[in-house]
Amino acid sequence: MPAVVVKPDRSDQVTALLGYAAERGIPVTPRAAGTNLCGGFAPTPESVALDLSGLNRVVEVDVEARRAVVEPGVINAALQEHLRPSGLCWSPDPASAAISTVGGNIAENAGGPSCIKHGVTFHHVLGLEVALAGGRLLRLDRDDEVDLLGLMIGSEGILGVVTQAVLSLRPLPRATWTALAAFDRIEEAALTVSAIVAEGLTPSALELCDQRQVQLCEAWKPSGYPVEADAILFAEVDGDPEAVAAAAPALESVLRRFDPGIRRCCGPARWRPPSASTWRPSPMRATATSIRCCSIGRPRPRPCSEPRARSRRPRSTSAGP
């Protein structure tokens, strides 16, 4: 527990606090949404917890330049909602996007399912305003001769406090195609990932879940995932409808290499009427909201619910997330 929690809502309050604390040798620990998966926010009893959730303004969106200036406490998902009407998005999509903040994403250099195509937070930050320990405000830019911006991104709050960020935005894809492949052996899922890369395909998202993860997800929120499968793989391509139409069959053929059960679904641009299946790929970022149903794409040699006999050794009970 920290000695005190301070919640500023302006960057000059942050610098004033840091200056005051530095003069007295008081440790300060920044905190954003507090998802804190890696334990970066661990205040000591004599420290000040600096709650940055009050710095939560989207200062400016320049649609033409595909650029946004935001404060660090803006929630990732709220930023995406803010940008949606302008047809833009900010690429980082950690699974914590609904609660984590831009500042936290920057401090952790967060990625997400789409980082295979679009990169991690580092690739989408153009500049930062940072309050240093003594209270000095520093501006870091992607074009600086020394890459202090790169040093700052992912530094988990130990080098300074991000008080404002200039983000690079990209257009929302006009079409998406998503598939779920279910495998009898997790090794086949891993080999499929390698094959996708070897084929030179660039999915916009790729996520592997082992059986334990799938079972836990299903127990928490039933979504019709094949709990019998040893592993499942979500794969998505996005872009212009023509590009998606060209990429999807190639991706599907690699996914089918190990003869898995495949379920496919299409984004709004390639919408098909709902079938009996109501599968929704909830572990995958925005697809959970943009895709409303999936259909079983074509006759499968074996439905997901009837996996072929397994010829592998029993899995260790310690396997899992």
Q: Does residue 8 belong to the site contacting ligand FAD (CB under 6 A)?
A: no
Q: Write the CB contacts of 78 (distance below 8 Å, at least 6 apart in sequence).
A: none
Complex with ligand FAD: residue 249 or 321, whichever CB lies closer = 321
Q: Residue 193: which H helix or E strand, with range?
A: helix 186-198
- The window from 30-38, 61-69, 177-185, 294-302 that contacts ligand FAD (CB under 6 A) reads 30-38
Q: Does residue 40 belong to the site contacting ligand FAD (CB under 6 A)?
A: yes
- The window from 94-102, 132-140, 192-200, 300-308 that contacts ligand FAD (CB under 6 A) reads 94-102
What are the Cα distances from residue 181, in Å, to 210, 235, 258, 308? Answer: 12, 8, 10, 14
Q: Residue 216: which H helix or E strand, with range?
A: helix 211-220
Q: Write the CB contacts of 14 (distance below 8 Å, at least 6 apart in sequence).
A: 8, 50, 52, 55, 131, 161, 163
Q: Does residue 105 belong to the site contacting ligand FAD (CB under 6 A)?
A: yes
Q: Does residue 303 belong to the site contacting ligand FAD (CB under 6 A)?
A: no
What pairs with residue 176 in β-bridges?
A: 238
CA of residue 317 relative to chain centroid, distance: 28
Q: Does residue 201 belong to the site contacting ligand FAD (CB under 6 A)?
A: no
Q: Does residue 9 belong to the site contacting ligand FAD (CB under 6 A)?
A: no
To ligand FAD, the closest distance from the beta carbon of 147 in angstroms equals: 18
Q: Does residue 101 belong to the site contacting ligand FAD (CB under 6 A)?
A: yes
Distance CA 189, CA 211 (A): 12
**267 three-state secondary structure:** coil
Complex with ligand FAD: residue 42 or 276, whichever CB lies closer = 42
Complex with ligand FAD: residue 233 or 304, whichever CB lies closer = 233
Complex with ligand FAD: residue 121 or 192, whichever CB lies closer = 121
Q: Confirm if 80 and 35 have CB atoms less than 8 A apart.
A: no
- Choosing from 37, 59, 65, 151, the residue that interacts with ligand FAD (CB under 6 A) is 37
Residues in the chain: 321
Q: Does residue 94 belong to the site contacting ligand FAD (CB under 6 A)?
A: yes
- Choosing from 2, 15, 21, 31, the residue that interacts with ligand FAD (CB under 6 A) is 31
Q: Does residue 2 belong to the site contacting ligand FAD (CB under 6 A)?
A: no
DSSP 211: H
Residues 267-286: b if buried by 16+ CB within 10 A, e if exposed = bebeeeeeeeeebbbebbbb
Q: Does residue 100 belong to the site contacting ligand FAD (CB under 6 A)?
A: yes
Count of other CB atoms within 10 angstroms of residue 74: 25
- Choosing from 18, 28, 32, 214, the residue that interacts with ligand FAD (CB under 6 A) is 32
Q: Write the CB contacts of 52 (distance below 8 Å, at least 6 apart in sequence).
A: 8, 14, 30, 31, 32, 72, 73, 101, 103, 161
Q: Does residue 34 belong to the site contacting ligand FAD (CB under 6 A)?
A: yes
Tell me how many residues contact ligand FAD (CB under 6 A).
Answer: 30
Task: Compose the 168-197 pattern: x for residues touching ligand FAD by CB under 6 A, - for all others.
Answer: ------------------------------
Residue 78, classified by CB atoms within 10 Å of its CB into exposed (0-12), middle (13-18) or buried (19+), is middle
Q: Does residue 14 belong to the site contacting ligand FAD (CB under 6 A)?
A: no
Q: Does residue 74 belong to the site contacting ligand FAD (CB under 6 A)?
A: no
* Closest by CA position to 126, among listed 88, 160, 163, 165: 165
Complex with ligand FAD: residue 212 or 300, whichever CB lies closer = 212
Q: Does residue 281 belong to the site contacting ligand FAD (CB under 6 A)?
A: no
Binding site for ligand FAD (CB under 6 A): 29-37, 40-41, 52, 72, 94-96, 100-101, 103-105, 107-108, 110-112, 156-157, 161-162
